[in-house]
Amino acid sequence: MMNKSDNDTNQLMTSFDLLNDMNAAESQRLIPTALFLGIIAVLGILGNALVIHIYRTRYKLSNAKIFIVSVSAVDMFSCCIAIPFEIILLMDQFTFEQAWMCKSSRFFNTLSTCASSFILFFVAVDRFRKVCRPFQRQITTSFATKLCIVSVALGVVVALPAFWMYGKKTFVVKQDTIDEAVIGSECSTADAMKGSIFPLINIAMQSVLFVTGIVAISVLYCLIGCKIKKQSKKMRLMMVRSMSIPMTPSSCVENGVDIPGEIDPGRHNHEDVISRKNNDNKKQNERKKRKSEKSTDESWTRDTEVSYTSYEKEEHAEVNRGKTKQTDKQTKVSDDQNVTPKDTNYNYEQSERVKTIESTGSSERVNENKGTGTLKRQLSNAGSQIFHVIRRITSHTSDEKLDSARKSQCLKEVRARKTAFIMFLISLAFILSYLPHLILMATRVVKYQFIEQLSDDGLATYKFFLRSYFLNCAINPVIYGLCDVRFRLYYNEFFSRCFSRK
């Protein structure tokens, strides 16, 4: 009886030792994968922390800033939690017992993947509206923040089934050492889900969501690329039309030789037309200006002449009335008093003196009126000149404002395109990092015995590329550093400050 129990104990210890040996051998083959994940985790934590710090402290509040910080936060979450869980599970391929760790690991992986996917989809929608629909209603910063929160919430909803679907899975180990079957355990679909259609529905749902997201993001960025191409063509045409003849010494290439002082008609034909149009416009404006000044002078002259003529008529009428009165007086005196010629001569001289005084006064008043008209003309000319100067100043100011508005709009368009390009690279990196995982999963569905047919080294390679999507967690800071000049400057400034303090 004692011998039989000892044999059973030896048999059990042999199975346990065999599983440990197989687990150690598999761990040795998976060391490159574990190192790969560890390097990604370290670089991802440092890089994403730097991205979050720089964008939060140095960049103005915008949709791009909110989305980039959100994506970096999700990637940092993966590097801090999801990847360490994955490394622990990777090193325990035959003797796994912690079902809660398996559930948590799959939940965190699905959460980070889905949250990043939804955020990148909303980023593509935002870029599409900025570039292709610039005059329509845009996504505000507050709404962008809400979209990021919704993305994380949707990721939680999609990842929740992992708590029921994944867990401890037992399997029969292929071996020739022991006659009896050796049972190993790993983190995969739980044994309780065997024969259930729920895992298939969950995988199908996640696959459809992921493929739909990739297709939608690709279509949106294709539309953005087409729009940017059209805008670039329009901008080139506008630049060609707005060009004028250069103010540098002209030259014409004849028989491969530059002839100074000559203008190539084929080179400057378009610029000649534009310059002629500008000169014609200037001449027309000068003609209008001269006409307005001339009409102003003529109006003042006419007013002066009319006033002078009316004044002269009044003076002649007054003189005639004076003559008539004087004649009547003389006649009356001569008739009533029988005046002598001497008195008559005296009255005549007095009347002539009065006439002279009156004519002198009238001429002085006419001269004064003429002087007033000249002064009015001078004031009118000065006023018109001041008006033209003010109009030129105001038109120059309005032109400057228009130019500044055009420049600011052009800068906004350039920044929108640049941001769209950076976001496109982030989305492209996300898709490419998931491509090996998707190909292997599709191969498993098509070839049911795919994993069983792999050798030990082939299985280790399969597990390496199956986790290729973690590369996306560390590659985004590299994209920012390569494509964003401001981020690169802030990055250099940050490290220069750190080293200068030391």
138-174: per-residue pLDDT in tens? 999 999 999 999 999 999 999 999 999 999 888 888 7
Is residue 252 classed as helix, strand or coil in its secondary structure? Answer: strand
Which whole number is the average pLDDT over 3-16? Answer: 53
Residues 458-474: pLDDT tens digits?
A: 888 999 999 999 999 99
The architecture (CATH level 2) of 11-216+431-501 comes to Up-down Bundle (1.20)
Given pLDDT bands bounded at 50, 70 and 90, which one contains residue 364?
Answer: low
Given pLDDT bands bounded at 50, 70 and 90, which one contains residue 354?
Answer: very low
Which of the listed ranges 59-73, 88-102, 270-284 does the model predict with the highest average pLDDT?
59-73
Of 197 and 386, more confident: 197
On the 0-12 / 13-18 / 19+ scale of CB atoms within 10 A, 162 is buried
What is the percent of the chain where pLDDT is above 90? Answer: 32
CB 64 within 8 A of CB 415: no
Of 14 and 349, more confident: 14
Query: How much is the pLDDT for 331?
Result: 41
Residues 36-81: pLDDT tens digits?
A: 999 999 999 999 999 999 999 999 999 999 999 999 999 999 999 9
Query: How much is the pLDDT for 155?
Result: 94
Of 346 and 429, more confident: 429
Given pLDDT bands bounded at 50, 70 and 90, which one contains residue 222?
Answer: very high
The domains of the chain are located at: 11-216+431-501
- 429 contact partners, CB below 8 Å, separation of at least 6: 472, 475, 476, 479
How far apart are the C-alpha atoms of 448 and 267, rounded to whole Å?
69
Residues 328-340: pLDDT tens digits?
A: 444 443 444 444 4
Residue 260 bridge partners (DSSP): 251
What is the percent of the chain where pLDDT is above 70? Answer: 63
Residue by residue, DSSP assigns 170-224 as EEEEP-SSSSS-EEEEEEEE-GGGTT-SHHHHHHHHHHHHHHHHHHHHHHHHHHH
Average pLDDT over the chain, rounded to an integer? 76
Reported in sequence order, the residue ranges of 28-177 that DSSP labels E, i.e. its strands, are: 166-173
Which whole number is the average pLDDT over 218-236? Answer: 87
